[in-house]
Chain A
């Protein structure tokens, strides 16, 4: 696989840290698998500020997915603290978590996860439906988000009428449409060829430059190199946390 070109260190601008978005402290997550207890996370502490570009890496079984689910408010820790923009996520119930995901987090999945029977516009409108936005406003916002990712002329195409890269762009537009605090991408190039993958990573770089906070979960070094900070997990613990 040809690696997409990463911007050279010289072109990077170091910025002052923005306000704190995510603060997790000593987070432990246990799973019960039959009689066995799996320690997916053994005590992880992490702080993420606004307009950071972070990659989370690690081999399978390292707790990478569990940490991502936790950061995405899809799951809550067994013990430890998790604060999202100052709110205590660890104590939230299902519907409160749903509200946080809706407003604060934009998901980009490896498998795109678009609704197959809905066109690009409706797919992008979906988070706004759950946010309770009137139809006319939804439409305007969704069209703008699609235009931002370069799909302004494809708004009425269904997923099966779009290429893989275009599908992932629709997913990115969907992640952006509700102006979330973070964009959480899980192996965003995993189902794309390297050329298209590079295009998607370029899009993430651009979003970062525009001031978005981006967390990419990946096992590929080339992808991680786009980020400004790389967190490596091993056996449910943070093995290293350094600037890229």
Chain B
């Protein structure tokens, strides 16, 4: 056992003598690994970053909210049955709240109706396209996960009276009233004028795909009055639950309540869907995994090229030192000693590349974070350790064939080699 330690010690010394003796060739070989490790590590950081943004974006959706909707979030197979369901109407919320209040120890807190459509907001000549406009009641305040930058949400009275007031996202406020407060200013949607009474705090965008900051919230009554008609059929009811660890129980209760409201008999199928963030997540997970695998495969190719470089240089090293191998064998080196010697050499080069690679990747990640904060890149110690392990593994895998060959050399032939 101790002999292995002495031989390992000797191997490390030889490896570093070799690297020092062939600086340029070692640097070039390590460069292949550096490029590979930078690519793989940055990819890993991007995957970690995407995961975090997903999580935080989903948190905005609220992990303690159930959505009563006509359609489930997972695409159904028998869509025709779903299409024939009766629409969810905002009035359902009132019925649900009455049941919730009369249920002792209810898992549910409150049901809030939401109507939605996309809209264009104008102030004079300025306009913002494609914002999401919601109609809801003053109860929405209990669901709101984000703070107000300024102002407030409309009150129950204002929403019951269908007052022409609105709350806007920070992007909308900044676009229409750059550099000054939007509070008490008027905005116009399809010729109807609304007074801004609140601006939401900035939430950021989701992978740059969609923004959570260009929305506009108006009283439900106003929504129905000005933009009603067919849109009021497409409502959803958001139900806040009391304890998110008891999500399943809350969901059961809500299904029962909805069936009561809808007057469905036992054995009859639900005429509604209860959606929750978790289902959305489950649907996105395979996509995320697919992207991650594809990304790691492509960047892994770069590392593979680096590994070929190491293999090549180790073959050259074995060839050049054939006579030395013969001498070592004559002096009593076993096959294992020779194998170890060349493996340590290839792993050393690979580890040096790996260290430089994760250093460079960390620096790049830091730079990206400063230059482009929108890009999701997240570094972590675990990722760096994995990067090092991968580079060590690359060294072993790449060095094995030449080292094995060296260990099997016939000492007579090796000694005669010039």
Contacts and interface: CB of A to CB of B under 8 A. Distances in A.
**Bind each other:** yes
Interface of A: 69, 72, 74-75, 94-95, 98-99, 101-103, 107, 109, 113, 115, 117-118, 126-127, 129-135, 174, 178
- Nearest first, the 6 closest Cβ-Cβ pairs linking A and B are A102-B332, A132-B3, A130-B332, A113-B327, A127-B331, A95-B334
A201 B410 CA distance: 30
Contact of B333 (A72, A98, A178): A98
A130 B331 contact: yes
A95 B327 contact: no
Given A130-B337, A132-B2, A133-B6, A72 B330 contact: yes
B83 interface: no
B189 to A, nearest CB: 80
A94 B408 CA distance: 9
19 contacts: A72-B330, A74-B329, A74-B330, A74-B411, A74-B412, A94-B334, A95-B334, A98-B333, A102-B332, A109-B327, A115-B327, A117-B21, A129-B6, A130-B7, A130-B332, A132-B3, A132-B6, A134-B2, A135-B6
Nearest to B329: A98
Nearest to A106: B331
A127 B2 contact: no
Nearest to B324: A115
A19 to B, nearest CB: 23
B323 A101 contact: no
B412 A75 contact: yes
Contacts of B7: 129-130
B331 A101 contact: yes
B197 to A, nearest CB: 80
Secondary structure type dominating chain B contacts: helix
A41 to B, nearest CB: 14
A74 B410 CA distance: 8
Contacts of B332: 98-99, 101-103, 127, 130-131, 178
B331 A107 contact: yes
A107 B330 contact: yes
Given A72-B330, A94-B334, A102-B331, 14 more contacts: A74-B329, A95-B335, A95-B336, A98-B332, A98-B333, A101-B331, A109-B327, A113-B326, A113-B327, A113-B415, A126-B331, A130-B332, A131-B3, A132-B2
B323 A117 contact: no
B114 to A, nearest CB: 76
Q: Which of A72, A118, A129, A133 has the most CB of B within 10 A?
A: A129
Interface in B44-88: none
B87 to A, nearest CB: 82
A118 B17 CA distance: 9
Given A69-B412, A129-B10, A94 B328 contact: no
Contacts of B415: 74, 109, 113
A103 B332 CA distance: 8
Nearest to A98: B334
Contacts of B335: 94-95, 98
B40 to A, nearest CB: 34
Nearest to A118: B17
A118 B324 CA distance: 12
A178 B412 CA distance: 22
Contacts of B336: 95
Given A109-B327, A115-B324, A130 B17 contact: no
A50 B6 CA distance: 32
Q: Which of B3, B324, B326, B412 has the most CB of A within 10 A?
A: B412
Q: Which of A69, A134, A135 has the most CB of B within 10 A?
A: A69
A129 B6 CA distance: 6
B194 to A, nearest CB: 82
